[in-house]
Chain A
Amino acid sequence: MSRLGARFARFLAVLILIGIVAAGRAEALDLPIKKLVFENGMTVLLLERPSLPFVVVDAKILGGSLYDPDDRPGTASLTASLLTQGTASRSAIDLAEALDSVGASLRSSASDDFASVSLTVLKKDVQLGFEILADVLMNPSFAEGEIAREKAQIQAQIKSDMDDPARIADKLFASLVFKNHPYGHPVEGTEESIPKIGREDLAAFYKRYYKPNNIVMAVVGDITEEEAIEIVNARFGRWAFRNVEAPAIRSVPKAARVVKIVSKDLKQATIRLGHPGIRRSSPDYYAAYVMNHILGGGGFSSRMMTRVRDEKGLAYDIRSGFDAGLEPGAFSVSVQTKNETAPDAVEMVLEEINRIRKALVSEAELADAKSYLIGSFPLRLDTNRKIASILSSVEFYGLGLDYFETYPRRIDSVSREEVLKMARKHLNPKNYVLVIVGKPDASRLP
């Protein structure tokens, strides 16, 4: 079996044993973030990291698909993607040429909660980079030709998504869980909604939400505080503050049981099971996060993975999660398994949900979850790009600039009793939405 003698094996065992002490701590994270608020209300979060000669900027605008007009899903996304498709003084081609010529990248898109524009540029080209960033944020042209082009692209994407069982399942699941709530529609809009969106809709959306006081801009890399202040003043100083009125968002519907099967000629059944969950700002967030980690969030050590993959070989991937946003996003479980075993997988998922609602998790499970979540936290922040994209969310979700220090403490304070309480409060083994894409045997479903 092994080519080496027992000596080596014993040596190894000792090493591992010694190794079990407190996890690598997040204290090692040295993130001296500065928060700068400009006269026009624009917030800049700055982290100086001069070790490599480039700068990453991630600007988030409070204007994601959550704010889509009811009858025009996709407006926020189309608005965001058109920012980089032409300004008052630059065509889409001009923008692309200017950026590509210096190897910079500039991307704009929308998600549920935010629109975002992100720039990566070498230090030597940082002036040009910020000039273009300001141009696309302040002077987008929304040219008719570009709108038509972008709409055709989105329609093609929506069509090709119909070949992707995961996308089909995700879209149907969201629509059943959230109904008329804006989390119920895809960020990019639908086949029916896209043709309805015209230039005036985009201009109106832009005018309403794209204001300096509605933006948080993370700047990370080889740039000093002085340089950042000067450059932001020079490029964004003339952009005037204006009150932004957030729209009223209807409340998330109550959980109700719905089962839908999308019959498709596939080898595997793609399964989604879940219901409304929690907001990012919920006081329950951290305890629910730890609970989910043990249940199905924790990669290879989670209960669901152990049961469905390791013990039964039924799936390659199974995971659960809370999609906690400005609004209570969904709790969902995702798993793929061959059509014949779909009912078994669903049954195991429900059994695991019931089990974690019934009894306390073990001391060891909780300790392992905590040491992983705390110890691996710095790994999630190991590049400038990752830091930039997380910083602006930290501000919008109101997590506080001390988030990076408080995170380990918050995770560490979760008790077994709280885990049980969270499972009982936020998991619902009866009123759930179940979506299956494939050819499962529906008669065997629970």
Chain B
Amino acid sequence: MRRPARRISRGGAAWLSLVLLLTPVPAGAGPKIVQDILDNGLKVVAVQDDKSPVSTIQVWYKVGSRHEPQGKTGLSHLLEHMMFKGTATVGKGEYSKTVARHGGTENAFTNRDATVYFQKFAPDRLELALSLEADRMTNLLLDPAEFELERKVVMEERRMRIEDDPTSLVVEEMFASAYKVHPYRHPVIGWMEDLAALSREDLVRHYKRYYVPNNAIVVVAGPTDPAEAIAKVKAAFGKIPKGDVPVETAVQEPPPLGERRVKVKKEAQLPFVFAGYPVPRVGHQDEYALDLLAQVLAAGKSSRLYKSLVYEKQIAAYAAASYDQMTSQDPALFYLYAGVKPGVRTEDVEKALYREVELIASQPVPEKEMEKAKNQVEAAFILGQDSIFNQARQIGQAELVGVGVRYIENYVANIRKVTAADVQRAARDYFSEDRRTVGILVPVPPKTKGTEPGEGKPSE
């Protein structure tokens, strides 16, 4: 992400919130959605929703850290930063200034599968917003001096987000171990060593290869009539020529042969456990059962992990599970994680996490609990429509991973079909010890001492 949001509370909450954002909404009661594909291959989805006098556009490029060659991790994210550094017609910093001057806000984010640029603005500024995005799809300068500066900025971002945050280091290490072959092992922000080695030419190549209309999805959401919105997208992007997008060859991750464990030794107060299991992504028949498994384990204070680890045993400061199925390739990961309470042994917390999944594998979830979980999913759907930005994001994500808007429309109905036996089977099939990768934060004592006044700096 190019611009920092206020830091979210610790313990993996930052990436968890991302997962929650991606939960799709149903379209039943919802907005009018029209789709089109332009002659140059650009996919357009227009969503009409006039709850608020606000529009949003999002440009989704199908390029993320999984497209980066060995030794060049961080390329997509650094390119995201550079997209704000000027084109032939819109000078350095002018993009952001123009959007702000028109009362809009803008930002971008990169993940393993995609790089996404977004703006929020008053609906009468749609043309301007689109023209700025069309411009930088094709006219980016990638000025060498700006590149050197931005590399430094991203290194600062890495220090802040990852290197000085012990739990983020565990997440990064766990991913790098859980995927032995698949490039999902790459950290989105890139390894520090790779960031130092990237060249401007790497960025130029990446930009030319992936920033083409037939590798992008534009989502427009707001009060504008969909036909009008699509016409405006066409006017802004229609003349950009098609590019040659490299043909995708899916990388097959070999099955795990036994449990993998990684430790991060770092100055920290409390240990942290983060376990991941390879599971199918969106579109697989077990998807909805896995979704409900995560729900039963971790949704709300009556969920099993909270009740058992946090409330009853009081061995964890927080405990949760999460399934992020909206990935472009297999396998996705299902996570279990917990923050260890002071004075508690890490292995006891780890065992307690696994035990809750084992319980579901051995005894079907009672009907009432299944019903509760489904109600929670349905309510979250309706509440998710509160934000037009969120809706646009869900649609973009569904398009990106190839399941489209229909997936969102049918989501609740599909969740409703899942039985307790399905959930039990999922808990049995995917959660054996041999399939998991476990990341553990092992706190080490501080190297330096605590507070001291700045020397030679008396109060004035």
Contact = CB atoms under 8 A, between A and B. Distances in A.
Interface of A: 1-4, 8-9, 12-13, 15-16, 19-20, 23-25, 28-30, 49, 51-54, 92-93, 95-97, 99-105, 120, 122, 149, 152-153, 155-157, 159-166, 172, 256-268, 298-301, 306, 309-317, 336-338, 368, 371-372, 374-379, 381-385, 430-431, 434, 436, 439, 442-443, 445
A91 B156 CA distance: 47
Interface string B102-143: 111100000000000000111111011001101100111100
A361 to B, nearest CB: 15
Contacts of B307: 93, 96
Contacts of B135: 9, 12
Contact of B448 (A24, A102, A264, A298): A264
Contacts of B88: 1-2, 9
A93 B302 contact: yes
Given A23-B122, A166-B7, A314-B156, A16 B54 contact: no
Contacts of B299: 100
Contact of B376 (A100, A161, A164): A100
Contacts of B300: 96, 99-100, 105
Contact of A268 (B96, B131, B156, B341): B156
A241 B132 CA distance: 57
6 contacts: A54-B386, A103-B379, A263-B448, A300-B93, A368-B97, A371-B101
B317 A443 contact: no
B433 interface: no
Nearest to A158: B269
Interface in B355-380: 371-372, 375-380
Nearest to B141: A1
A375 B451 contact: no
A378 to B, nearest CB: 6
Contacts of A29: 53
B138 A2 contact: yes
Given A156-B341, A260-B454, A261-B452, A19 B102 contact: yes
B395 to A, nearest CB: 17
A384 B149 contact: no
B453 A260 contact: yes
B113 to A, nearest CB: 23
Nearest to A430: B460
B11 interface: yes
Contacts of B125: 19, 24
Nearest to B450: A262
B164 A165 contact: yes
Interface core residue of A24, A122, A258, A265 (most chain B CB under 10 Å):
A24
B32 interface: no
Nearest to B272: A160
Given A371-B102, A382-B387, A310 B93 contact: yes
A152 B383 contact: no
Given A156-B270, A301-B96, A15 B157 contact: no
B98 interface: yes
A378 B52 contact: yes
Given A104-B379, A260-B451, A309 B122 contact: no
A19 B4 contact: no
B160 interface: yes
B4 A317 contact: yes
Contacts of A314: 152, 156
B102 A52 contact: no
B16 interface: no
B314 interface: yes
B94 to A, nearest CB: 9
A366 to B, nearest CB: 12
Interface in B307-352: 307, 310-311, 314, 317, 339, 341-342
A382 B382 contact: no
A386 B220 CA distance: 22
B260 to A, nearest CB: 25
B10 A160 contact: yes
A61 B171 CA distance: 39
Interface in B136-193: 138-141, 148-157, 159-160, 163-167
A337 B156 contact: yes
Contacts of B452: 260-263
B409 interface: no
Given A258-B459, A265-B448, A314-B152, A301 B375 contact: no
A95 to B, nearest CB: 8
Nearest to B453: A260
A377 B104 CA distance: 9
A160 B122 contact: no
Nearest to B100: A372
B129 to A, nearest CB: 9
Nearest to B449: A263
B302 A100 contact: yes
B51 interface: yes
B388 interface: yes
Closest 8 CB pairs of A and B: A375-B103, A24-B122, A103-B379, A313-B152, A28-B53, A96-B301, A23-B103, A317-B4
Given A122-B382, A262-B451, A306 B93 contact: yes
B149 A378 contact: no
A265 B267 contact: yes
Interface string B255-274: 00000000000011110000
A49 B51 contact: yes
Nearest to A310: B93
A375 to B, nearest CB: 1
B89 interface: yes
A376 B156 CA distance: 29
Contacts of A161: 10
B52 A382 contact: yes
Nearest to B121: A24
Contact of B159 (A159, A267, A385, A443): A267
A4 B239 contact: yes
Interface string B389-416: 1000000000000000000000000000
Contacts of A20: 101-102
A381 B459 CA distance: 44
Contacts of B89: 9, 12-13, 16
Contacts of B149: 310-313
Contacts of B339: 156, 160
A368 B29 contact: no
Given A259-B454, A262-B450, A159 B152 contact: no
A386 to B, nearest CB: 9
Contacts of B128: 15-16, 19
Interface core residue of A163, A258, A436 (most chain B CB under 10 Å):
A163
Contacts of A371: 100-103
Contacts of B383: 54, 103, 120
A99 B317 CA distance: 22
B20 to A, nearest CB: 12
Contact of A445 (B102, B156, B376, B454): B454
B131 A15 contact: yes
Contacts of A372: 100-101, 103
A106 to B, nearest CB: 10
A422 to B, nearest CB: 21
Interface in B27-67: 29, 51-54
